[in-house]
Amino acid sequence: MYRVEGMAAYENLSAGGGRLSEAAPAHDRKFVTALARGLDVLRAFTPNEGVLGNQEIVTRTGLPKATVSRLTYTLTKLGYLSHIARLGKYQLAPAALSIGYSTLANMRIRQVARPYMQELANHAGASVSLGSRDRLNLIYVEHCRSKAAVMLRLDMGSRIPLATTAMGRALIAALPEPERDWLMSHIARREAERWPQIRAGIDRAIEDLATRGFTLSVGEWQPDVSAVGVPLIPGDGSGVFAFNCGAPAFQINKERLETDIGPRLVNMVRNVEAALNGH
């Protein structure tokens, strides 16, 4: 779980476009800037933008062009990138995949939660996801869907915003107040004029979590998406997670979210928590 004293070193990351290579204070002698810049390059690739040239990587990372050229060359030699000669661009290679796969394979909460998630997805005719924070976003680390309904175009590895989604608000609401305030200050900085409206949604989510055990987002992330969210903080210190259950708005209305799916998601998360604790 993130701590406030540890968060200061990550302040530049919080705006979503911050770079790992900027994450540490100048006096931090243990911080290896060259390594951080290499990771910046790998992070530039996304599920929707899987093939990038050096100039595109420069734009996404803010690193100098000469630095990017050296890093893509090195990462290609190490097997983390593949060079597509006919395009003059790069894509992630199997060595990079092995890192992510190892992370997922050793994330016990995924294995424990999946059968419960699938059961709820089948009941709701919707999708159920598990996510963890990545800067000011959430990244899906597990995803289950019902075969009987129209699904959102999201899957493992998808990123969604913290501030306007049910899952993100659940995670924010579950944080200790100092950590929550730190995170919200950076969301406010990024959102600027939209912040008062977004803040109202987060405040409502904090109250909903305290009174009902789940949070809502009905058309606040995307106009046609409705979802509920519930947080989970495993006792083993492996991080802060959140679950959601969502679907297109025409498929699930707010009343059903509040009276059926929300309470069922709360119960599901309690079952996952108990299973993680060996009960």
Radius of gyration of the chain (CA): 20
167: Cβ contacts below 8 Å, ≥ 6 apart: 129, 131, 138, 160, 227, 229, 242, 243, 244
* Mean pLDDT on 143-156: 77
- How does pLDDT run across 161-183, given as a tens digit for each residue? 999 999 999 999 999 999 999 99
78 vs 151, higher pLDDT: 78
**3-class SS of residue 193:** helix
pTM of the model: 0.80
- How does pLDDT run across 119-137, given as a tens digit for each residue? 999 999 999 999 999 888 9
> Minimal CA–CA distance to 104: which of 142, 158, 68?
142
Domains along the chain?
A: 4-99 (1.10.10.10), 107-276 (3.30.450.40)
Give the pLDDT score at 59.
Answer: 95
Mutual angle of helices 108-124 and 262-276, in 10-degree steps: 160
Positions of E strands within 150-252: 159-161, 215-218, 225-232, 241-248
Structure-token pair, residue 213:
């055990």
Give the pLDDT score at 151.
Answer: 62
- Is 21 exposed, middle or buried (CB count within 10 Å of its CB: 0-12, 13-18, 19+)? buried
Of the pLDDT bands very low, low, confident and very high (cuts 50, 70, 90), residue 197 is very high
Are residues 170 and 229 in contact, defined by beta-carbon separation less than 8 angstroms?
yes
- How does pLDDT run across 200-232, given as a tens digit for each residue? 999 999 999 999 999 999 999 999 999 999 999
| Residue 234 falls in which region: left (phi positive, over 0), alpha (psi -120 to 50) or beta | beta
